[in-house]
Chain A
Amino acid sequence: MKRALSLLVVLFAASSLASETQVLPKNTWTFDFAWWRSSIDKQWSGDRKALPLIEENRRYEPGGGLQGILRAQPRADFDFLIAQAMYGITDRLTGVLYVPIVLRQQVTTNLSWEPGDYQSQLGRKYSEDDFWAWAGSLGQPRVPAVWNGGVKLGDMIVGARYLLPEFEWMSANHFRWAATLQVAIPTGTNFDPEEAVSVGTNLWELHAAGDVEAHLSADKQFFVDEFGVNRLNIGADVYYAFFRPREYTAGRGLKNPLLNNIAPYVGDKYIVDGGDWIAGTVSVDFSPFLGPTRASIVSGGDEKKAHALPPMLTLTLSYTRVQTFQSDWQSQSALWDYDREKFWQPGEKNIVRGTATVSLLRVGVPVQIYARYQSGDLIPGRYSRPANIFSVGARLVAKFW
Chain B
Amino acid sequence: MNPRSFLSLFLAASLVACGPLVKPPTREFIELKGTPYDRGLQHGTQLRSKIRSFYTTLLTNSLFPYLSREQPDIASFLPEYSAERYQNGNFAYELMLDSAKNIERSLGRATREELQGIADGSGLSYDQILVLNTFVDTVLAVRGVALAIRLARAPLIKSVEFVGAASDGVDNDSDGMIDEAGEGLTEPYIPELYGMGVELAPTTSFKLVLTEVDGVDPATVRLYLGDRLYTQDSPELVMTELSATELQVVLTPAEPLPAGVTTTLVIGAGDKKLITVPPPTRASFMRDEEIAFTTRGAGLSPRDVRRVPLTDGRTRPPPIAIGVRGSMTRTGKSFIAHHFSLLDANSAHKHTVAIRHVPETGPSFVTIGWAGIVYGFSGMSDRGVGYACDPSDTLDNSVVGSVLDQVVDISKAKLIASGMPIGFLGRRMLEQGTDAASARDVIANAERAYGWTCVTADRNGGMEAIEVDSDIFNDGMKGNFAFSLSDVDALGRRWAGTSDDDVVLGSNYVKNVPDIATLTVAGQRIVPQRQWSGFFYRSRRAVDGVKGRLEAQKGTLDAEALQAIISDPQFVDQSDSMNAVVLDFDALEVRAAMGQVPATNAPFEVTEVRP
Binding site for B on A (CB under 8 A): 58-63, 65-66, 116-118, 120-124, 126, 129-131, 133-134, 136-140, 253, 257-258, 261-262, 264-266, 275-276, 278, 325-326, 332-338, 341-342, 345-346
A266 to B308, CA, bound (A): 46
| Residues 51-69 of chain B, each 1 if its beta carbon lies under 8 Å from chain A, else 0 | 0110111001111011111
**CB closest chain-B residue, reference A257:** B65
Chain A residues with Cβ below 8 Å from B53 are 265-266, 333, 335-336
Query: Is the pair B62, A278 in contact by a Cβ cutoff of 8 Å?
Result: no
Q: Is the CB of B150 within 8 A of A342?
A: no
Interface residues of B in 287-341 (CB under 8 A from A): 287-288, 313-316
Residues of B within 8 A of A126 (CB): 280
Q: How far is the CA of A84 from the CA of B55 in the complex (A)?
A: 50
Given contacts A63-B342, A326-B21, 11 further A-B contacts (CB under 8 A): A61-B66, A62-B62, A65-B575, A121-B150, A133-B280, A138-B66, A253-B61, A261-B60, A276-B17, A332-B49, A333-B53
The reply to whether B65 and A138 form a contact with Cβ atoms under 8 Å apart is: yes
- In the bound assembly, the distance between CA atoms of A336 and B288 in angstroms comes to 39
Asked whether B18 lies within 8 Å of A326 as measured between CB atoms, the reply is: yes
Distance, CA A130 to CA B62, complexed state (A): 17
- A118 and B314 contacting across the interface, CB-CB below 8 Å: yes
Could you jot down 30 A-B contacts, CB within 8 Å?
Answer: A58-B346, A60-B62, A60-B346, A60-B576, A61-B66, A62-B62, A62-B345, A117-B575, A118-B314, A121-B282, A122-B282, A123-B220, A123-B285, A134-B279, A139-B65, A140-B65, A253-B61, A262-B56, A264-B55, A265-B53, A276-B17, A278-B14, A326-B17, A333-B52, A335-B50, A336-B53, A337-B24, A338-B21, A338-B23, A342-B23
A58 and B284 CA atoms in complex are apart in Å by 26
Give B152-193 as 1s and 0s: 1 = Cβ < 8 Å from A's Cβ atoms: 000000000000000000000000000000000000000000
Question: A59: shortest Cβ distance to chain B, in Å?
Answer: 8
Residues 372-403 of chain B, each 1 if its beta carbon lies under 8 Å from chain A, else 0 = 00000000000000000000000000000000
Contact of A60 among B220, B278, B315, B344 (CB under 8 A): B344
Contact A120 B573 (CB under 8 A): no
- A335 touches which one: B49, B68, B89, B283 (CB < 8 A)? B49
Nearest A residue to B19, CB-CB: A326
Contact in complex: B280, A122 (CB < 8 Å): yes
| Contacting pair A325 B17 (CB below 8 A) | yes
Min Cβ gap B478→A in Å is 28
Contact pattern, B 1-39, Cβ under 8 Å of A = 1, otherwise 0 = 000000000000010011101011010000000000000
- Residues on A with beta carbons closer than 8 Å to the beta carbon of B268: 123
B281 on the A face (CB < 8 A): yes
Residues of A within 8 A of B17 (CB): 275-276, 325-326, 346
- Given A123-B220, A265-B56, A332-B49, is A257 in contact with B61 using a C-beta cutoff of 8 Å? yes
- B56/A264 in contact, CB under 8 A: yes
For the complex, what is the distance from the CA of A117 to the CA of B68, rounded to whole Å?
22
In the assembly, what is the distance between CA of A63 and CA of B342, in Å?
6
Chain A residue nearest to B49 (CB atoms) is A333
B60–A130 CB distance below 8 A? no
Asked if B350 is an interface residue, CB under 8 A from chain A, the answer is yes
Number of A-B contacts (CB under 8 A): 128
Q: Residues of B with Cβ closer than 8 Å to A?
A: 14, 17-19, 21, 23-24, 26, 48-50, 52-53, 55-57, 60-63, 65-69, 89, 139, 143, 150, 220, 268, 270, 277-283, 285, 287-288, 313-316, 342-346, 350, 534, 573-576
| A123 with B279: CB separation less than 8 A | no
Q: Which residue of A lies closest to B342 (CB)?
A: A63
Residue among A123, A333, A335 making CB contact with B26, cutoff 8 Å: A335
Question: Cα distance A336–B53 when bound, in Å?
Answer: 9
Inside 8 A of B573's CB, which chain A residues have their CB?
65
B280 touches A130 (CB 8 A): yes
- Residue of A63, A136, A337, A338 most packed against chain B (CB within 10 A): A63
Nearest B residue to A57 via CB reads: B346
**Pair B56/A261 contact, Cβ less than 8 Å:** yes
- List, in ascending order, chain B residues with CB within 8 A of A58's CB: 346
State A333–B66 Cα separation when bound (angstroms): 24
Q: Is the CB of B65 within 8 A of A116?
A: no
A137 touches B343 (CB 8 A): no
Which chain A residues lie closer than 8 Å to B65 at the CB level? Answer: 138-140, 257-258
Q: Are A63 and B19 within 8 A (Cβ)? A: no
A60-B346, A62-B343 in contact; A116/B575 too (CB < 8 A)? yes
Q: Which of A60, A258, A265, A276 contacts B49 (CB 8 A)?
A: A265
A119 to chain B, nearest CB (A): 9
B572 to chain A, nearest CB (A): 12
* Least Cβ–Cβ distance between B580 and chain A, in angstroms: 17
Q: Is the CB of A137 within 8 A of B285?
A: no
Residues of B within 8 A of A341 (CB): 21
* Minimum distance in angstroms from B115 CB to a CB of chain A: 19
Given the interface contacts A262-B56, A276-B17, does A335 sit within 8 Å of B350 by beta carbon? Answer: yes
Instruction: Give CA–CA (A399, B161) in the complex, Å.
Output: 101
Taking the closest CB of chain A, its distance from the CB of B285, in whole angstroms, is 4
Q: CA A95 – CA B477 in complex, angstroms?
A: 90
| Residue of A59, A137, A345 with most chain B CB atoms under a 10 A cut-off | A137
Smallest CB-CB separation from B53: which chain A residue? A265
In the bound complex, CA of A198 to CA of B384 (Å) = 56
- Which residues of A have CB within 8 Å of B220? 123
In the complex the two chains form, is B270's CB within 8 Å of A123's CB? yes
Out of B52, B55, B66, name the residue touching A332 (CB < 8 Å).
B52
